A and B are shown apart, each in its own frame.
Chain A
Amino acid sequence: MKKLRSQLAVAGVCCILGFMLAYQFRIINLQETEVNSQVDSTQITAEVAQLNKQKDDLNNQINELQDKIKQYQDSAANKSDVNKQIVNDYNNLNLISGNTDVEGQGIIITITPKNNMFSPDITNASNVITDQDLIDLVNELRFGGAEAISINDIRILADTGIKTSGGVTNIFLGTKDRISPYEKITIKAIGNKDDLNSAMVFPGVLDVIPSSNYEVDAPQKSSKILIYKTNTVTNFQYAKTVNN
C-alpha cells in the first residue's frame, strides 16, 4: 500500500515534469517561428542594396525623361513667340520648385564637428546641432535673399520640413533625406553673395551653432556655386486652385 502511494506520488511529479517540458517546447517553437517571420539583417541589407540600385536606375530614368522634355520644349519654343513665353514661365517655375540644377554666386557655410576628447556630452541636445539651428540658418539665408539653398547637397525648398529625429542622431530634411549632426554640414546658398554674407556674419546668427562642439568657418563667398535639383516630387493632393 505504501509502495503504491509512493509510486503514485512519483507519477504525479513526473506528470508535472512532462507538462513543463511539453509546454516549454511549445513556447520555444512558437518563439522561433516568430523570429523566423521577422526578416533577418542580412536579408534587409541585400534589400537595401537592391532598393538603392533601383533608386539609381529611376534617377537615371528621370534624367532621361527630363532631357526629352527639354528637347520638346526647345522644339516647341522654336515655333512661335507664345510658346517661347510658356517655356520661359515653365523654366521659372522649375527654378522655384527646385526641379533643375542651378548655379550662380552665393556663399558656402561649413560646420565641422570638433574632435576633442574633452568635449561636453555630445548626446545632449544643447551641445548638438538640432533642427532648430538649421531652421534659423535657412531662415536667415532666405531673409538675406537666397534664391536656392542646399544642406549637404540636399535641396531645401519652400515645402521642405526640417526635423530632428531619433533623439539627436538624425536631422530629416523633408521626409526622405536626412543628415547626421555628428558629421560635416555644408550649407550652400545662391543669391547676392554680399547680402548673404552680411546676413550671416550679423552678430548672433551663426552663434546658434553650439560652439563647444562645432567649428564654424566664416561664410565663404563664391561667384559660382552649383546647387543640385531636388529629388522629391511635389504633388499637391489637397490644395486646389480657386477659379474666380
Chain B
Amino acid sequence: MIAFLGLFIGIIIGVLWNVPIPNQFTPYMSVAIFACLDSVFGAMRATLAKQFRVDVFISGFFGNAFLAVGLVYLGDKLGTPIYLAAVIVFGSRIFNNFAIIRRMLLDRPKSQQ
C-alpha cells in the first residue's frame, strides 16, 4: 500500500517538476526504467513467495539500472546495440516473473480451501 503511495507521489513529481535532464540521456532513462520495472516485478514475486528482502530489492533496483545504463553507454561507444540485450533480458524476466505471480495468485484460493 505504502509502495503504491510512493509510486503515485513519484508520478506527480515527474509530471509537475521540470527537472532539466539533457535530451541525450533519454535512451539511458528508458533502459533504466526497464531495469527498475524488472526489479519491482521481482519484488512482487518475492513478496508473494514470502521471500522478500529489502536489501536485495534495493540493491537490485539500483544495481540493475546502473548496469543497464552502463551497457547502453558501452554499446554507444562500441557502435553495437547492446541495449537490445538489456531490453530482451529484462523483458523476458518481467514476463517470467509475471507468469509466476499469476500462478501464485491463482493457486492461492485453492490452497486456502
Specify which chain A residues have a CB less than 8 angstroms from the CB of B23 in the assembled complex.
Answer: 27
Q: Is the interface of A mostly helix, strand, loop or mixed?
A: helix
Mask of B1-32 contacts with A, CB within 8 angstroms, 1/0: 01111111111111100010101001001101
Residues A18 and B58 in contact, CB atoms below 8 Å apart: no
Q: A1-24: contact bitstring with B at CB < 8 Å (1 yes, 0 no)?
A: 000011111111111111111111
The size of the chain A interface, using a CB distance under 8 A, is: 25
Report the bound CA distance from A21 to B15 in whole Å: 9
**Do A18 and B8 touch across chains, with their CB atoms under 8 A apart?**
yes
Is B37 located at the chain interface by the 8 A CB criterion?
yes
Docked CA distance A30–B61 (Å): 27
**B interface residues, how many (CB within 8 angstroms):** 31
Q: Which residue of B lies closest to A23 (CB)?
A: B14
Interface of B is mostly: helix
- CB of A28 within 8 Å of the partner chain: yes
Q: Does B72 reach chain A (CB closer than 8 Å)?
A: no
Distance in angstroms between the alpha carbons of A23 and B21 in the assembled complex: 9
A11 to B21, CA, bound (A): 23
Q: How far is the CA of A24 from the CA of B39 in the complex (A)?
A: 18
Give the residue among A8, A10, A26 with the most B Cβ atoms within 10 A. A10
Give residues in B with beta carbon < 8 Å to A: 2-15, 19, 21, 23, 26, 29-30, 32-33, 36-37, 39-40, 43, 54, 57-58, 61
- Chain A: residues with CB nearer than 8 A to chain B? 5-28, 31
Query: What would 11 A/B residue contacts be, using CB atoms closer than 8 Å?
Result: A9-B57, A10-B57, A14-B40, A15-B6, A15-B13, A17-B36, A18-B10, A20-B33, A21-B11, A21-B14, A25-B14
